[in-house]
Structure 1
Amino acid sequence: MSKFIPLSVPNLKGNELKYVTKAVETEWVSTGGPYVNDFEKNVAEYVKAKGAVSCQNGTSGLHIALLLCGVTRDDEVIVPTLTFIAAVNPVRYIGAEPIFMDCDDSLTMDADKLDEFCREECILIDGKLISHKTNKHIKVVLVVHVFGNMADMERIMQIAKQYNLIVVEDATEAIGTYYTKGKYNGKFAGTIGTIGVFSFNGNKIITTGGGGMIVSEDKELLKKAKHLTTQAKSDELYYTHDEIGYNYRMTNLQAALGLAQLEQLEGFIKTKEENYNLYRNKIQEIKGLTILDFRADIRSNHWFYALHCDENYPLSRDEIIRYLALKGIQSRPIWGLINDQEPYIGSQVYKIEKAKYFWERVVNIPCSTNLTKKDALYVIECLKNAV
């Protein structure tokens, strides 16, 4: 098998080598160095946030975000079940408990069920949302913008205000996505809730190899985030620490990569959208297959493409994955639902229905920003010939 089309790999054809070489030549390779501050500044400016604090990855960013929201082991956090497990694990790092929520057709958190859960399964006591089942304070709703789509933030923010919930946005897959209509017209994913977090993992639309970013409109929260991510030093010279901190700072080498990647982000999004439209238009001609839409009221970054198969297609989800592999095409199923994972069996769930449906029927297909039209057409042809 000579041809191999990967699922999602980096595109490093800009100033990456130039900036990283400069970091090496100046010997600023660790967590100090000018690229870190520049990258934070440029990300904040790009998403129109008051500020940004870099971190080691999206997971560490979410951990810090929950700490900044005051989540403790006595609290509960509403989370989606259809997401990567790294979005939920930080809840347990703190010792708090997740409550799993279903998705809607956008694959993001179902706002209707969120509202129903808060109304029917909880009670407001002294401004705190208390679970009937556990008598615990539900402090935060953690919203994930799946595959570069956007959750219904207008509804979710209304619900959060009504029930005194703090909103944390896991925008690890959605840098560059923003609303084009409605109350939040022009607002980027990650900048609507109290805190947003981005990821720059190797498979993301822009990458630093690893790495993440915390953004907020609250400068005091950002100051606290920087404090916690740099070992909580109250006196750097004498190594005095006033609380438990974390070694979560991004390196100058990573930030050098990130700056070069950010310069290309809009071009990457344009390529992603073109390839998405090519897939969607051609695949809709194949009976039983569709590419799931992004919300109509957003400009999505089109990070990942979700191929949906129904009973009219001759292959099941797993058969599609095996068949494409034989053709040299890497694909994957959507994540296993988190409430079904061993560490979370027995956790509270609320009417998980659509997430199960999509888990059984969605396959992610190649979506790299350096995916050629020829390779995309080859993927489509393979899917067509399986019929």
Structure 2
Amino acid sequence: MSDNFFPISKPSIGARERELVLDALDSGWVSSIGKYIDEFEQGFARYCGTEYALTASNGTTGLHLVLAALGIGAGDEVIIPDLTFVATANAVAYTGATPVLADVDPDTLCLDPASVAAKLSPRTRAIMPVHLYGHPADMDALRDIAERSGIAVIEDAAEAHGAEYKGRRVGGLATCGVFSFYGNKVITTGEGGMLTTNDRELYQRAKRLRDHAMSPVRRYFHEERGFNYRITNLQAALGVAQLERIGELLARRTEIMNWYHSEIATSEGIRLNRVRNWARSAFWMVCLEVDHFDEKRRDAFMGALRARGIDSRPYFCTMSSMPMYRQAPLPVAARKAEIGLNLPSYYELTKSDVAQIGANVNELLKEMSLA
């Protein structure tokens, strides 16, 4: 076991974050009203280039909220990638709609437009691309499909703060974007989420539903069921400070990714994150794919890394492999879920740390390829 342990992720919290959170605490406004909520929403809208942004209690509730605000429900279908975190599928199911699984592109790991087109039906109400592991989906192709069908596009940008598609930041590329601020994300509020949109009607509808659908003219009167999906002023204060640093944090992730590319011996069958020429990735996770792996060999490799003090995570399981969404596997998504893993990518990593991780990865891959 190494003297050092390299975790997969941890947040970068500094003096500015402490300053603003303590200010919110001292103000007495610790719940869902306070100046930092407005400041965080306005700042995030500017950052994404949208007219509106709306905080939510987390990314999952943010997805559910926008689906509800669009009136999506029982009998409707929403196309999502098979390879994603389960929150994407669950948010659709919460509305009573059906998540329809499409395959992913082998390079970006995001929705394959051709697979999406094949999954369209008269019941399709939306497409929900996920900018997986920080790389944006092919939004022009997906928007073209949606526009021809008269349906919405909802960006699940939970992992992609600051990522760009053809020079434009994600979150402002479709009907609505949804972000997560969980502790391992590019920026964090501990728990929290954000909706971004240019659609004023959608923004106002979501804002009302977020607060129990309370009447704007009669306090404590509710004409329909809503949700308690609010964030606190304390969390928003942390978010404001993190947003001030997002350029620095993204630059650090790019630097770490570049170190990995220089340290790990890649080949046609051993790959790190790939980035399309029209994209700028947020590099939320360092991704390693090894073609001679299957799930058992991948997991054994991860166990060997951990014995050397290096944490790792498997790629997300496919939705089609889970009991509540089970169906025939989609070939690209299923294969990626077997061979992919994530390596440490937290901000405090040094070049020397990555060199140590890379040397262990190279050594173990060589041993396993000869086994």
* Fold shared, TM-score > 0.5 on shorter chain: yes
Match of 1:82 in 2: 83
Q: Give the aligned residue type for 2:183.
A: G
1:377 aligns with 2:316: no
Per-residue CA deviations over 1:314-359 (Å, capped at 9, x if unaligned) read x93112210111011110100111111111125xx6x711111111
1:291 aligns with 2:272: yes
Residues 1:292 and 1:316: Cα distance change in structure 2 (over 3 Å): farther
| Deviation of 1:311 (Å) | 2.0
Q: Distance in 1 between matches of 2:119 and 2:214?
A: 41
Q: Give the aligned residue type for 2:161.
A: I
Unmatched segments (≥5 aa) in structure 2: 367-371
SS in structure 1 at match of 2:53: strand
Q: Is the 8 A contact 1:288 1:312 kept in 2?
A: no
SS in structure 1 at match of 2:99: strand
1:340 aligns with 2:334: no
Match of 2:335 among 347, 351, 357: 357
Match of 1:183 in 2: none
Q: Is the 8 A contact 2:263 2:359 kept in 1?
A: no
Per-residue CA deviations over 1:95-121 (Å, capped at 9, x if unaligned) read 111110000121000111212333xxx
Q: Distance in 2 between matches of 1:101 and 1:362?
A: 19
| Deviation of 1:363 (Å) | 0.7
Residues 1:286 and 1:166: Cα distance change in structure 2 (over 3 Å): closer
1:156 aligns with 2:157: no
Q: Is the 8 A contact 2:24 2:237 kept in 1?
A: yes
Q: Is the 8 A contact 1:80 1:102 kept in 2?
A: yes
Residues 1:287 and 1:223: Cα distance change in structure 2 (over 3 Å): closer
1:110 aligns with 2:96: no
Match of 1:190 in 2: 171
Match of 2:95 in 1: 94
- TM-score between both structures, scaled by the size of structure 2: 0.94
Q: Is the 8 A contact 2:263 2:354 kept in 1?
A: no
Q: Give the aligned residue type for 1:116.
A: A
1:307 aligns with 2:288: yes
Match of 1:144 in 2: 130
Residues 1:235 and 1:116: Cα distance change in structure 2 (over 3 Å): closer
Equivalent residue runs for 1:42-57 within 5 Å: 42-57=43-58
Equivalent residue runs for 1:1-387 within 5 Å: 1=1, 2-105=3-106, 106-118=108-120, 122=121, 130=122, 137-180=123-166, 186-235=167-216, 238-285=219-266, 288-311=269-292, 316-346=297-327, 352-386=330-364, 387=366
Q: Distance in 2 between matches of 1:113 and 1:139?
A: 16
SS in structure 2 at match of 1:88: helix
SS in structure 1 at match of 2:240: helix
| Deviation of 1:235 (Å) | 4.5
Q: Distance in 2 between matches of 1:196 and 1:238?
A: 30
Q: Is the 8 A contact 1:168 1:195 kept in 2?
A: yes
Fraction of identical pairs, as percent? 37
- Please identify which structure carries the higher helix content: 2
Residues 1:241 and 1:312: Cα distance change in structure 2 (over 3 Å): closer
Q: Distance in 1 between matches of 2:232 and 2:321?
A: 35
Q: Distance in 2 between matches of 1:152 and 1:113?
A: 13
Q: Distance in 1 between matches of 2:218 and 2:232?
A: 20
Unmatched segments (≥5 aa) in structure 1: 123-129, 131-136, 181-185
The number of residues matched between the two structures is 362
Per-residue CA deviations over 1:208-267 (Å, capped at 9, x if unaligned) read 000000010011211111111111111476311121111101100000100111111111
SS in structure 2 at match of 1:246: coil
RMSD: 1.8
SS in structure 1 at match of 2:133: helix
Q: Is the 8 A contact 1:205 1:268 kept in 2?
A: yes
Q: Distance in 1 between matches of 2:45 and 2:239?
A: 13
SS in structure 1 at match of 2:168: coil
| Deviation of 1:87 (Å) | 0.9
Q: Is the 8 A contact 1:205 1:369 kept in 2?
A: no
Residues 1:286 and 1:81: Cα distance change in structure 2 (over 3 Å): closer
